[in-house]
């Protein structure tokens, strides 16, 4: 902008330059701004005039003052040329603005597309999550029922074994009680011949088994629980691999 002012001053004749400097010293040239003094302008060349103006005013104020004085010294052509150059600058700047607007509009569309893709991916991930956890839930419930059934079957087997042993023990107790009663009766017998005839058979122990090493051990439930946990872990790994494969295929198709 300062180059434009200097170019304008270069197009002034010496007389016009003198009048230009005279107007710079008038307080009414631009209300509210200080006027320049004679000592600063008396022998000043065009470049020096511009330097004094820029030291006293802003670049924008210097441009406004220049246009005002050009009008007063009847150099409307230079004023229009100066204004036209500024309009060209504005036009160029507007082109930059339009490019910036276009770029930002493109960015808006890019962001909207990205959000749309993100939303689609969100819905897909939700659906996959529901599917995976539903399958896991069903697997957990099924595994739990199988675990409970296996534990209950083990307990029933243990109870059946215990009942059979108790029944067998009770049968042996009955036989022993019967033999004990026979022993007592025979011991009180007055018939010596009968006593001797029955002695061997009554003295003999009824058929029984040795119970020393027979134990009823509570069933172990560690195996079923560990297997159930292992199956659940395998199911989780399987679903994780399926989800990763789907995500990989989705990226390939969307890429």
pLDDT digits (tens, 9 = 90+) for 107-162: 999 999 888 888 887 887 788 778 777 877 777 777 778 778 878 887 888 888 88
At how many degrees (to 10) do helices 76-187 and 59-72 cross?
A: 150
Q: What are phi and psi of 67, to 5 degrees?
A: -65, -40
Residue 221: the pLDDT is: 65
Place of tokens 């956890």: 133
Q: How much is the average pLDDT of 33-38?
A: 80
**Burial class (CB within 10 angstroms; exposed 0-12, middle 13-18, buried 19+) of 24:** buried
pTM for the complete prediction?
0.43
Give the span between the Cα atoms of 11 and 17, in whole angstroms.
9
Give the span between the Cα atoms of 105 and 99, in whole angstroms.
10
Dihedral, 12, 16, 18, 21 alpha carbons, nearest 10: -80
**Burial class (CB within 10 angstroms; exposed 0-12, middle 13-18, buried 19+) of 66:** buried
pLDDT digits (tens, 9 = 90+) for 84-102: 888 888 888 888 889 999 9
pLDDT digits (tens, 9 = 90+) for 193-251: 777 777 788 778 888 878 888 887 777 766 666 776 777 778 777 777 777 777 676 66
Residue 1: the pLDDT is: 66
Give the span between the Cα atoms of 21 and 13, in whole angstroms.
12
For the record, the structure tokens of 83 come out as 């204004």
């Amino acid at each position: 902008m300062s180059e434009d002012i200097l170019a304008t001053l270069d197009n002034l004749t010496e007389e016009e330059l003198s009048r230009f400097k005279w107007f710079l010293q008038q307080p009414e040239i631009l209300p509210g701004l200080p006027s320049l003094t004679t000592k600063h302008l008396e022998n000043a060349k065009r470049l020096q005039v511009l330097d004094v103006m820029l030291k006293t005013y802003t670049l924008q104020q210097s441009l406004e003052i220049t246009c005002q004085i050009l009008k007063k010294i009847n150099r409307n052509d230079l004023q229009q040329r100066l204004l036209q150059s500024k309009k060209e600058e504005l036009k160029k700047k507007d082109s930059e603005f339009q490019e910036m607007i276009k770029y930002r509009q493109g960015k808006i569309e890019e962001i909207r597309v990205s959000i749309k893709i993100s939303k689609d991916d969100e819905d897909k991930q939700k659906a996959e999550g529901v599917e995976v956890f539903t399958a896991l839930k069903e697997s957990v419930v099924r595994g739990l029922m199988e675990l409970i059934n296996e534990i209950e079957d083990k307990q029933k087997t243990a109870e059946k074994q215990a009942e059979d042993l108790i029944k067998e023990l009770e049968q042996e107790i009955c036989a022993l009680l019967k033999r004990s009663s026979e022993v007592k009766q025979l011991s009180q017998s007055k018939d010596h011949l009968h006593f001797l005839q029955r002695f061997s058979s009554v003295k003999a122990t009824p058929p029984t088994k040795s119970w020393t090493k027979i134990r009823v051990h509570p069933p172990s439930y560690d195996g079923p629980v560990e297997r159930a946990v292992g199956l659940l872990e395998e199911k989780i790994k399987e679903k994780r691999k399926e989800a990763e494969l789907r995500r990989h295929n989705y990226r390939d198709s969307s890429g």
